[in-house]
A and B are shown apart, each in its own frame.
Chain A
Amino acid sequence: MSGLSLRRLRAMLVKESWQILRDPSTMLIAFVLPVILLLIFGYALNLDTGRTRIGLSLQDGGEAAASLAGDFRHSPWFSVVEVGDVPHLKDDLVAGTIRGIVVIPQDFSRMAARGGGDIQVITDGSLPNNAAFIAAYAEGVRQSWTAARAGHPASPPPLSLTLRYWFNPGSVSRFFLVPGAIAIVMTMIGSLLTALVLAREWERGTMEAILATPLGMGELLLTKVVPYYGLGLGATALCTLVSLLLFGVPFRGSVLALFLIASCYLFCALGQGLMISALARSQYVASQIALLAAFLPSLLLSGFIYEIASAPRWVQWITLIVPARYLIPSLQTVFLAGDDWGQFLPDMGKMLLFGAVFFLVTRWRMRRRVA
């Protein structure tokens, strides 16, 4: 096999790019999926709880009880959809039509007149976050009712905490979801798509045909990878534009930094895709491995939604070999904080290292296959 020939390389690149552009499914993944993801992340994944449906059990006929019940009805946190006795409301809790029950017990008005007045809150613990929210906000409604009744605002606690969120003062969840969406899209294109395409070549036997051409192994890998690299960058640019224009996500870093970070990750993801295809050789197996080894970890084990430090130790060890783990912090920083090369460079180095290992394994596997 002769050395690198630019003419040959160009011809192969044109062929591969055409193949991509001709297939509508590739275009769907590169340009429709990112928009769907961003829309869902922007509008559907609202981690900030809104009005929660609750049931109210008013067991006291007094004026005080009615007044507190009125406060619950008018609270911006709750919408009282059901009023009745506790056993009845518990059935609704099981059916999931309400998420909590506030019980104003029999002697509430009498106790309230003496400055007391307890209530009971029953929540649906099957949704732990909602349950904690209901408990805290129901107590909040009761406290402000008590304070208003006593004619003076609740005395301030002796010591309080003033919280500030840097980089995202309003704690808008959209802002932190966008880097995650970009990571998912790049993983899809880099790993899943590449794995499928090459597995198909193996499945159909066209890989052997290409290997029989004077193309070198390095050139072959290059021509397979470069078009997808371009596609990945295009999808990243689309995600960035949509999130800036539609969702007003800030972009405080430089385009150069984003480009370099995305390139390093794509190098790694493409290497992973090639490796999976070389190991699997069938499209079905390749797609399932890519899903399990690339896509789901980039969503669940990358620290994008769930805090890595909070997971059990053995899971933390596994996250060390999830490339997206080194991508998410840099993406979050380049969008929300600005350029911080002291953080970018080590993470970029790790992504390149992973990529290099993946490419080497692929080369070695393919040599053995052909021999």
Chain B
Amino acid sequence: MMRWLAFLTRCRAMIVKEMWAVLRDPRARIILIAPPIMQLVLFASAATLEVRNVDIGVLDLDHGPAAHEVLGQMAGSPNIRVLVPLASYEALARAIDRRQVLCAVILPEGLSRDVAARHPASAGAVCDGRRSNSAQIMGGYLSQIVGQAGLALRGVEARAGGQNGLPGGQSTVRHMFNPNLDFLLFVLPALVATVASISALSVAGQSVARERELGSFDQLMVAPLRLSEILIGKMAPPLIVGLVNATLYLLVITMLFGEPLRGSLISYYLATFFFLTANIGLGMTVSSLAQTQQQAFLGIFLVAVPVNLLSGFAAPVDNMPLALRIIAQADPQKHMVVLMEGLFLKAMPMMAVLANVWPLMAISAVTLTVSTLLFRSRME
């Protein structure tokens, strides 16, 4: 009993000391809370794979009813901001080269004649392959618009749900969890994982390296503290800051963006807790290996970039080659993205939550053990 009490007292002292080290600098206090929230709001607004408000060039050599119909449909599209009339192929090439337009539609001579004669007619489009991602998305929109214009010219109304309005059945599509396929609903939960990970890694990364750089590591070694007590103290600041921030993310997402948490609050904190411990383990491992704070920060960066890119946020894990899919299983952020999408959008039940939390526990156990071993070897 007495031993436990002494253990708790020493842990408390260590936690207070570590929290003090992190919160002492007023600028650091602001840096711990404000940037994560700013990142969440700013990047959620910026990160959209929809292409809207872009300028599209038009080279109209047809001037007939078909061209009129296509231009009318294009003008009505919310994805296009301005239609830029182009006089010649040279003007078209220049507009693309200079990035005045993302794509340019070419309506060839005799287009209206072909459509009227019921020949299969074809318009052309040139897109800027330098921006291949946006260009492909815009190319998809343009194909759809031109196809619809063709049907309208034939007097066929495109059937709801059907792709081209041809007879012979159709597919009825239902997008569960996100009926309008709003990209923001996908980005917000994924950003919680990204932002929380960057914050936890940065705080945990400086823990050991700073002591060593300032020379206080020696003092820590001779202090009457056990290894476990020191490590608990080191884990406390990133964990406490991370949990406070997680609460703020939840408030921002539900209040500011109006996106409810459909899963349970317990699941949310359970997932966040083990995600944080996994990241703290990673951060402390890097920190124990580093000689200076600078090395620790750069090392954290070297870890954070692949962890982030393999998480499934930037591109689906399903599309990766097998070797990388296996590596991604060891990426805590990959599991966290699944959990956050599940909890915010899918009302993920507890069993499914646990199925994704246990890998986080396993990663935490491994990274914390490794960092403890490294820390101990540093002490001797």
Using a CB–CB cutoff of 8 Å, the interface residues on chain A facing chain B are 23-26, 28-29, 32-33, 36-37, 40-41, 43-50, 52-53, 90, 93-96, 99, 111-112, 115-132, 135-136, 138-140, 142-143, 146, 150, 154-169, 171-173, 175-176, 188, 192-193, 196-197, 200, 280, 282-285, 287-289, 291-292, 296, 300-301, 303, 305-307, 309-312, 314-315, 318-319, 329, 332-333, 336-337, 340, 342-343
Contact = CB atoms under 8 A, between A and B. Distances in A.
A163 B127 contact: yes
Contact of A166 (B96, B124, B298, B346): B96
Q: Is the interface of A mostly helix, strand, loop or mixed?
A: helix
A307 B173 contact: no
B61 to A, nearest CB: 15
Interface stretch (B5-13, B146-154, B225-233, B266-274): B146-154
24 contacts: A29-B298, A33-B301, A43-B320, A44-B321, A53-B318, A93-B176, A94-B342, A95-B352, A125-B177, A127-B186, A127-B341, A128-B182, A130-B318, A146-B169, A158-B120, A159-B123, A160-B121, A161-B124, A165-B126, A173-B132, A283-B294, A296-B43, A300-B46, A336-B130
Contacts of B172: 118-121
Contacts of A115: 167-169
Contacts of A93: 176, 346
A179 B309 CA distance: 16
A193 to B, nearest CB: 7
B297 interface: yes
Nearest to A193: B298
Interface of B: 25, 27-28, 31, 35, 38-39, 42-43, 45-55, 66, 70, 81, 96-99, 105, 111, 115, 118, 120-136, 139, 142-143, 146-147, 149-151, 153-154, 162-164, 166-179, 181-183, 185-186, 198, 202, 206, 210, 290, 292-295, 297-299, 301-302, 305-306, 309-310, 314-316, 318-321, 324, 338, 341-342, 345-349, 352, 355
Given A37-B305, A288-B202, A171 B135 contact: yes
Nearest to A53: B318
A129 B171 contact: no
Which interface residue of A29, A131, A310, A340 has the most chain B CB atoms within 10 A?
Answer: A310
Contact of B129 (A44, A165, A188, A200): A165
Contacts, number: 358
Contacts of B198: 291
A25 B299 CA distance: 7
A161 B45 CA distance: 32
Contacts of A41: 309
